[in-house]
Amino acid sequence: MINLKGKKVLVYGLGISGQSASKLLHEKGACVSIYDDEGRFSNVFCYQKNPLMNEYDLIVVSPGIKVIGNQLISHFIMNRTPLISELDLGFMFTKGVVVGITGTNGKTTVTSLTGEIFKRAGKKTFVCGNIGLPISSAALKTDKASFSICEVSNFQLELSRYFNANLATILNLAPDHIDRHGSFEEYVATKKKILTGKRNQKVVLNFDDELVKNLLINKKVTFFSKKTLNKGVFIKNNAIYHNKTKIISLNDLTLFGEKNLENVLASVAIAVRYRIKPNIIREAIINFKAPRHRLEYLGQVNGANVFDDSKATNISAALSAINSLGEKGLVVLFGGQNKGCNFDELFNKNINYEAVYCFGEAGKEIFDCAEKYGYSPMLFPTMKSASYYAKNNAMEGQKILLAPACASFDEFTSYTVRGEVFKEIMFGIYEKIEMSQ
Ligand code: UMA
């Protein structure tokens, strides 16, 4: 743990992470300055109008700030001022066990479910990180007996040097956030930082993901798999097993789809590493309610079933939603802001989509790609217009799926808002809001 008393620390970026970091630093006696490129905090007394003019002992960087090409960060690197991520700061002051969960898809579900299992086992549990509660906020509440179940994003790992979770897991790896990292290789290298290689780190990896499976040769790895393995956490006789012990029958799972099966396996693999009893794990899984906007079943419109997977912000997540639902009667809504991904994979698998609606900033690119593979897509300026069209043309037997394969920021402030608006359009509420404004 570092001594921050009297140290001059600049917090860069004042979203929820920066604010939590500032509070923690203040409580630890640091002399805190803040800076945000948007300048909207310029009235706060410790705001620095021009941080380039000052010297600092430490810079704490918020996850949303892209390191490459950032003038301020380059300046501090040149000056040899230590830079750490908010994740590092929070970790340094977290007591007890830290479980770090990363991967391209499923992080939030695994973090929530694992948290529920640990809580049910009577452990003092903090569910934190990218899921919404910054680790800096949870840190000072932890003690030796605590378990911090922390969702870790590649953004948080980018500048991280000290985060060393007692248990680390990478759930899966597929192209995502290429716009931020420059290449898939760089993205994978960033994710891999969660596996510090320290001797006592427990590691949980996905045996079914070739890239993840081969990341580490470590005796302490626990693998999880949808196939039957000799040991680890796996499926046998229509049930989830840990080695020879049956944990739960697949018939008792309440989460929907193949991807969620992987998520449950991952949470079980984490729980068994801390010797949580099978009946506790089982009860937690049965009582778990899936986080919103992840292949969430919304209901029926004109006999069509409607699903919201607004969280599917990359190709692999969208494909996994499609695989879970099956192609019969599938009407898909793709679009938003491209994160540097190539859309071919959505169309080169011969999936028999009933209709493809493309929208937003990346709409034309997706539309062209779909046409290239012989589909007859339709192009809409926004998700809202595509959703209205899907609703007005909904028919019995269809499955209308919002799985955009893109970020939401061209039209919305987050994937959550996108999902809410989709639901509101599909079920009428949004029309009322618009009309009354
Ligand atoms: N800012 C700058 N300069 C920049 C970029 C941003 O000054 O170049 C400022 C903005 O003006 C704003 C602040 O930074 O005032 C925003 O900070 P931030 O983007 O780091 O966001 P936070 O509010 O701190 O939220 C972050 C995560 N957001 C991102 O990583 C973009 C949240 O994940 C996370 O829940 C939260 O910390 C708590 O840990 C969101 C996310 O989209 C949900 N994550 C990505 C994902 O899941 O794919 C990685």
Identify the pLDDT of residue 179: 85
Residue 241: strand, helix, or coil: strand
Give Cα separations from 345 to 67, 294, 313 (angstroms).
29, 20, 14
The CATH homologous superfamily to which domain 296-427 belongs is: Mur ligase, C-terminal domain (3.90.190.20)
Q: What is the pLDDT of residues 320-378, one digit of tens each?
A: 899 889 889 999 999 999 998 899 999 999 999 999 999 999 999 999 999 999 999 99
Burial of 264 (0-12, 13-18, 19+ CB in 10 A): buried
Identify the pLDDT of residue 430: 54
Residue 431: pLDDT above 90? no
Q: Among all chains, which residue has been given the structure tokens 């099956």? A: 326
Residue 35: pLDDT above 60? yes
Q: What is the pLDDT of residues 37-61, one digit of tens each?
A: 987 777 777 888 888 888 999 999 9
Q: Which residue has the higher pLDDT, 74 or 432?
A: 74
Asked if 313 and 339 count as a contact pair (C-beta separation under 8 A), the reply is yes
Distance 231 CA to ligand 1 centre (A): 39
Give yes or no for residue 153 CB within 6 A of ligand 1: yes
Identify the pLDDT of residue 219: 67
Give Cα separations from 318 to 210, 295, 345, 371, 423 (angstroms).
19, 10, 10, 19, 18
Residue 434: pLDDT above 50? no
Residue 393: strand, helix, or coil: coil
Buried b (16+ CB within 10 A) or exposed e, 85-123: bbbbbbbbbbebbbbbbbbbbbbbbbbbbbbbbbbbbeb
83-85/233-236 β-pairing: unpaired
Nearest alpha-carbon partner for 339 in 163, 153, 192, 195: 153
Asked if 105 and 172 count as a contact pair (C-beta separation under 8 A), the reply is yes
- Chain mean position to CA 267: 15
To test ligand 1's pocket by mutation, which of 16, 60, 151, 172 has the most ligand atoms within 8 angstroms of CB? 16
Give yes or no for residue 103 CB within 6 A of ligand 1: no
Identify the pLDDT of residue 432: 42
As its CATH architecture, domain 90-287 has 3-Layer(aba) Sandwich (3.40)
Structure tokens given for 136: 């800096």
Average pLDDT over residues 114-119: 98
Distance 122 CA to ligand 1 centre (A): 32
Instruction: Express as a percent the part of the chain with pLDDT over 70.
Output: 97
In whole angstroms, what is the distance from residue 338 CA to residue 327 CA? 24
Residue 85: pLDDT above 60? yes
Give the right CATH number for 8-81 from 1.10.150.20, 3.60.15.10, 3.40.50.720, 3.40.50.460: 3.40.50.720
Structure tokens given for 308: 């919201």
Domain positions in the chain: 8-81, 90-287, 296-427
In whole angstroms, what is the distance from residue 132 CA to residue 138 CA? 11
Identify the pLDDT of residue 218: 65
In whole angstroms, what is the distance from residue 252 CA to residue 421 CA? 32
Residue 210: pLDDT above 60? yes
In whole angstroms, what is the distance from residue 242 CA to residue 271 CA? 10
Nearest alpha-carbon partner for 190 in 73, 106, 262, 104: 104
In whole angstroms, what is the distance from residue 101 CA to residue 154 CA? 11
Instruction: Express as a percent the part of the chain with pLDDT over 90.
Output: 82
Q: What is the pLDDT of residues 296-305, one digit of tens each?
A: 989 999 999 9
Identify the pLDDT of residue 437: 30
| Single-letter amino acid code for the residue at 208 | D
Q: Would the CA dihedral through 173, 260, 62, 135 be positive or negative? A: negative
Q: Which residue has the higher pLDDT, 216 or 284?
A: 284
Asked if 168 and 191 count as a contact pair (C-beta separation under 8 A), the reply is no
Backbone angles phi, psi at 60, to 5 degrees: -110, 120
Distance 62 CA to ligand 1 centre (A): 7
DSSP labels for 326-383? -STTEEEEEESB--S--THHHHTT----SEEEEESTTHHHHHHHHHHTT---EEESSH
Distance 142 CA to ligand 1 centre (A): 24
Which residue CA neighbors atom 4 of ligand 1 most closely? 65
Identify the pLDDT of residue 429: 63
Q: What length is written for the chain?
A: 437
To test ligand 1's pocket by mutation, which of 155, 177, 315, 316 has the most ligand atoms within 8 angstroms of CB? 155
Residue 436: pLDDT above 60? no
In whole angstroms, what is the distance from residue 180 CA to residue 187 CA? 8
Q: What is the pLDDT of residues 132-191, one digit of tens each?
A: 999 999 999 999 999 999 999 999 999 999 999 999 999 999 988 888 888 999 999 999
Give Cα separations from 210 to 2, 197, 368, 386 (angstroms).
39, 19, 31, 36
Give Cα separations from 381 to 158, 318, 384, 389, 420 (angstroms).
34, 20, 8, 12, 19
Average pLDDT over residues 181-206: 92
Asked if 22 and 10 count as a contact pair (C-beta separation under 8 A), the reply is no
Q: Would the CA dihedral through 285, 291, 297, 301 be positive or negative? A: positive
In whole angstroms, what is the distance from residue 398 CA to residue 355 CA? 10
Structure tokens given for 240: 């989830």
In whole angstroms, what is the distance from residue 251 CA to residue 54 CA? 61
Q: Which residues pair with 245 in a beta bridge?
A: 242
To test ligand 1's pocket by mutation, which of 153, 157, 178, 315 has the most ligand atoms within 8 angstroms of CB? 153
